[in-house]
Chain A
Amino acid sequence: MWEYTDKVKEYFLNPRNVGEIENPDGVAEVGSLACGDALKLTFKLDENKRIKDAKFKTFGCASAIASSSALTEMIKGMTVDEALKVSNQDIAKFLGGLPDEKMHCSVMGKQALEKAIENYRGAAPLEAGAKIICECFGVTDKEIERAVRENNLLTVEDVTNYTKAGGGCGGCQDAIAQIIEKVRSEPKMDSKPKLTNLQKIRLIEDTIDREIRPSLKHDGGDIEILDIIGNRVIVAMRGACSTCKASDITLKDFVQHRLQELVSPDITVEEASK
């Protein structure tokens, strides 16, 4: 049995925005019956070019339905440029998280959104020249590259959880490993889009929650963000860390290092004066 959050259950049992908008400004269909999930997304803009209404139809499991519904709720009121910034992580976060194996449901939402916006703009598909890597689920190299980059994926299994690629016959797993290798070896700066302040703060919080806090907790400690001023992150060490003689080292060599690596090389971490 999957451990779904209450919010996933709520959005599955009482989904918002089911259906199709007539004469939509943007429309997209992604996924297929063979893959086991598919999503048709339609949206309509108001006179200020903001998304007035968005609707979905989804074939898939509970988390696919919940992710689609969450997406339609999230993008209402946004401009298309703002909507394009919604990531699959945002969808998962809106739902209070998704099981790892179900992250591909949030990726499907992100893909549908991009395609629907492309459709609205009448632009040529962004990913011309993409090559199918996973024949079983029709996943391209570009899609895999992007999932690896945006979600910081490290293993073939991660890629399968996020894109389904490699989850069928498994014949493409070597090719996926090569793509991971390629993306990981890209210069870091290139792989990081410029962040708005808000995004940076969110990313810092996220990185601490995901990458840093679990390790500290493992040793009986914890960390709290007190303030973020520009690139200065002010924190307080808690639990075992607060009395630990090595907490300075932890702060610089671990916390600051991880944040520099994953958020921005300009980040500095300071401990609030006790």
Chain B
Amino acid sequence: MKIIYLDNNATTQVAEEVLEVMTPYFRELYGNPSSMHTFGGQVGQKIRIAREQVAQLLGASPEEIIFTSCGTESDNSAIRSALLTRPDKKHIVISRVEHPAIHALCSHLGSQGYKITELPVDKNGILDLENLEKSLTSDTAIVSLMWGNNETGVIFPVEEAARLAHEKGILFHTDAVQAAGKIPINMKNNVIDMLSISGHKLHAPKGIGILYIRRGTKFSPFLIGGHQEKGRRGGTENTPSIIGLGRACELAASNIEKENTYVRRLRDKLERELIKKIPQSRVNGDIVNRLPNTTNISFEFVEGEAILLLMNELGICASSGSACTSGSLQPSHVLRAMGVPFTMAHGSIRFSLSVYNTEEEVDFIIDKMPAIIERLRGMSPFWNKAAQSCTNQ
């Protein structure tokens, strides 16, 4: 069975070009970049180039980039560093729709005596900057807001938010794991202090991430060990992945236009046709301020896990915000924060595309989804009643 992969916000395939540059660093060039001999030292050269490639994608300087093991490590490092370098401040501001790497960390810090403010979003998942402004106090150490939401693709005005935080002398971090490579990011045009990226969301391998730290920002390392990353992150470098991530960032920079034309057009077509063909379905999240590759669609009166498993029978891969797939008994915290009604939240499906998707794949999904939803609605005790009462939607 052919796999049709529209779950690129979960993870992406490693690009062929990326794998190609990585392979030599497993067997032929396995040296430790910290070694004195040329055999190891030459790998250090390659890491320097990778760092430049990453910096290039972000409009940053190479020394502002540290390599980590994943987005979660980057997020954890940023928040903990802010608290350690501002030990007198005990308040953190985040949003209600952050990724667990921030959300769960802050819940944990909340139990350790820190005060956490979770900013609400409106029904479209949009953040109100006035609320942010009001939440900032003299005790606030850091504001952390995601750039693009992983479930809905909704984009937060993080550059504006960072300015507001800075006006009050507060640090600003953003989780840009979903945004990087999909929308332009230029750190020269903003005042964001720290930014997290994960390799496997942009066609580099899993197990590699970066934390951007603006020059001049005080930093307290999370992993303490050797002098790697100028003492800012101990641990022998994951050389193949770092070199792969460098290449992936280079590719992402050259693909960003394609993301916003080709991928956006496919996403829009998928969304438009599904909404048209399937009654009582709707898009979750603002459709203007949104990443070009993501759509989150709810199909009312059916349950997401059941939808995913029927899609799975056809080789179609996507995600759901339903309770049964969230690992808890409640639907996704993002959809709940947006006030999406339960009838809709349980039946939400996230499709996330990449430059590797084709029009044929999108057409196949458009062709197959209506029957899947109809089949489950045929089993749903709520469907007949509901269909009778609102046939004009």
Contact = CB atoms under 8 A, between A and B. Distances in A.
Note whether A and B form a binding pair. yes
Contact of B342 (A29, A33, A160, A164): A33
B305 interface: yes
Contact of A65 (B313, B323, B379): B379
A-B CB proximity, top 8 nearest = A167-B329, A61-B324, A61-B305, A40-B381, A57-B381, A36-B323, A59-B380, A34-B342
Given A33-B382, A39-B381, A57-B381, A168 B329 contact: yes
A18 B306 contact: no
Interface in A131-182: 136-137, 160, 164, 167-168
Choose among A29, A60, A64 the residue with the greatest number of B CB atoms under 10 Å from its CB.
Answer: A60
Given A58-B381, A65-B306, A167 B343 contact: no
Interface residues of B, number: 25
B303 A60 contact: yes
A58 B324 contact: no
Given A12-B306, A62-B305, A62-B309, A36 B381 contact: no
Interface in B335-372: 342-343, 346
Interface of B: 301-306, 309-310, 313, 322-324, 327-331, 342-343, 346, 378-382
Given A59-B301, A59-B380, A59-B382, A36 B306 contact: no
A57 B327 CA distance: 24
Interface string A39-68: 110000000000000000111111011000
Given A61-B322, A167-B328, A37 B309 contact: no
Contact of B329 (A18, A59, A160): A160
Interface in A120-140: 136-137
Contacts of A34: 342
A247 B327 CA distance: 41
Given A33-B382, A62-B306, 19 more contacts: A13-B310, A15-B379, A29-B381, A33-B346, A36-B303, A39-B381, A40-B381, A57-B379, A58-B381, A59-B380, A60-B303, A60-B324, A61-B305, A61-B322, A62-B309, A65-B306, A160-B329, A167-B329, A168-B330
A38 B381 contact: yes
Contacts of B302: 59
A60 B306 contact: yes
Contacts of A38: 381-382
B311 to A, nearest CB: 12
Contacts of A168: 329-330
Contacts, number: 67
Contacts of B310: 13
B306 A13 contact: no
A239 B310 CA distance: 43
Contacts of A2: 305
16 contacts: A12-B309, A18-B378, A33-B382, A36-B323, A36-B324, A36-B330, A57-B379, A57-B380, A57-B381, A58-B381, A60-B306, A61-B324, A65-B306, A160-B329, A167-B330, A168-B330
A59 B299 CA distance: 12
A65 B331 CA distance: 18
B47 to A, nearest CB: 36
Contacts of A18: 378-379
Choose among B305, B346, B382 the residue with the greatest number of A CB atoms under 10 Å from its CB.
Answer: B305
A105 B329 CA distance: 12
B303 to A, nearest CB: 5
Contacts of A29: 381
Nearest to B309: A62
Given A18-B378, A33-B346, A36-B322, A61 B331 contact: no
Interface in A1-48: 2, 12-13, 15, 18, 29, 33-34, 36-40
A175 B303 CA distance: 30
A33 B382 CA distance: 8
B312 to A, nearest CB: 9
Contacts of B301: 33, 59
Nearest to A15: B379
Nearest to B330: A168
A157 B328 CA distance: 11
A40 to B, nearest CB: 4
A59 B304 CA distance: 10
Given A34-B342, A40-B381, A13 B331 contact: no
Nearest to A167: B329
A62 B309 CA distance: 8
B375 to A, nearest CB: 10
Given A60-B306, A62-B309, A33 B329 contact: no
Contacts of B329: 36, 137, 160, 164, 167-168
Contacts of A65: 306, 379
Contacts of A101: 327
Contact of B343 (A33, A40, A62, A136): A33
A59 B303 contact: yes
Contacts of A58: 379-381
B345 to A, nearest CB: 9
Nearest to A60: B303
A13 B306 CA distance: 9
A38 B323 CA distance: 13
B32 to A, nearest CB: 37
A101 B326 CA distance: 12
A153 to B, nearest CB: 16
Contacts of A37: 303
Interface string A184-214: 0000000000000000000000000000000
A15 B378 CA distance: 12
Contacts of B309: 12, 62
A36 B331 contact: yes
A60 B304 CA distance: 8
A147 B303 CA distance: 25
